[in-house]
């Protein structure tokens, strides 16, 4: 199995462990650190990063020519849309719906899905292309897994911060590709000079170089 697939499974395993932490259940109905998400909704959104992978693997639709990752994010409306944009409202609704039956059920369901994906990803060819029916284009499977890896890392931090836990420690095999992709997206969005200044010259750093 390729490195990105292994890294995705490790990050997903960490996410399931976080979902099972008693601190998450204790804060279930409280606001999260992420604007307009409850802790429950954020937990549901974190778990959804496994649902998405299951869905693209199970799809029997014809996948088209895959686009690159920068093109994928450039086309995705949620990236630069406001909180009230339908794409982001739909994401919050989906997280809340996924969490509707409580923290224990969500964690159990996500663990079962992780077990299924561990076997499924090992059997997929290295050049597998997957269609994204909600988006209308296709990605290489490993590129799609990298987008889910970013989501798992970012939202694990969000969820931990929401309930007073330390951010889960993850190996460099996970952190390095996530940081690299976020840096590429930041340069694409803000330009190389803005990113270089933020990393090297605090006195000339722009207000933000956020990738999203």
Q: What is the pLDDT of residues 6-59, one digit of tens each?
A: 999 999 999 999 999 999 999 999 999 998 899 999 999 999 999 999 999 998
Q: Which residue do the tokens 């993850």 mark?
A: 170
Radius of gyration of the chain (CA): 17
Does the pLDDT of residue 117 top 90, yes or no? Answer: yes
Does the pLDDT of residue 197 top 70, yes or no? Answer: yes
**Mean pLDDT over residues 92-100, rounded?**
91
Q: How many of the other CB atoms lie within 10 Å of CB of 126?
A: 10
Q: Element (H or E) spanning 163, and its range?
A: none
Cβ neighbourhood burial of 91 (10 Å; 0-12, 13-18, 19+): middle
DSSP-derived secondary structure letter, 1: -
pTM of the shown model: 0.93
Identify the band that residue 81 occupies on the pLDDT scale cut at 50, 70 and 90.
low
Strands (E) across the chain are located at: 129-132, 137-140
- Specify whether the CB–CB gap between 113 and 54 falls below 8 A: yes
Give the number of C-alpha atoms closer than 13 A to the C-alpha of residue 155, restricted to the C-beta side: 29
d(C-alpha 97, C-alpha 38), whole Å:
12
The residue among 166, 155, 158, 164 whose CA lies nearest residue 26 is 164
In this structure, CATH architecture of domain 3-167? Up-down Bundle (1.20)
Six token digits for residue 63: 């996948």
């Amino acid at each position: 199995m390729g490195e990105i697939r292994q890294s995705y499974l490790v990050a997903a395993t960490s996410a399931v462990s976080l979902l099972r932490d008693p601190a998450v259940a204790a804060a279930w109905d409280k606001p999260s650190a992420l604007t307009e998400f409850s802790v429950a909704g954020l937990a549901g959104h974190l778990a959804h990063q496994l649902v998405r992978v299951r869905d693209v693997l199970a799809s029997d639709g014809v996948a088209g020519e895959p686009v690159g990752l920068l093109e994928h994010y450039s086309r995705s409306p949620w990236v630069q849309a406001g909180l009230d944009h339908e794409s982001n409202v739909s994401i919050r609704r989906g997280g809340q719906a996924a969490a509707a039956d409580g923290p224990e059920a969500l964690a159990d369901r996500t663990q079962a899905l992780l077990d299924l994906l561990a076997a499924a990803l090992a059997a997929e060819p290295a050049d597998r292309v997957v269609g994204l029916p909600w988006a209308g284009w296709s990605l290489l499977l490993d590129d799609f897994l990298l987008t889910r890896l970013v989501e798992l890392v970012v939202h694990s931090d969000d969820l931990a911060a929401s309930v007073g836990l330390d951010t889960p420690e993850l190996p460099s095999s996970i952190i390095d590709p996530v940081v690299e992709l976020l840096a590429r997206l930041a340069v694409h969005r803000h330009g190389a000079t803005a990113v270089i200044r933020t990393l090297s010259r605090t006195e000339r750093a722009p207000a933000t170089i956020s990738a999203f």
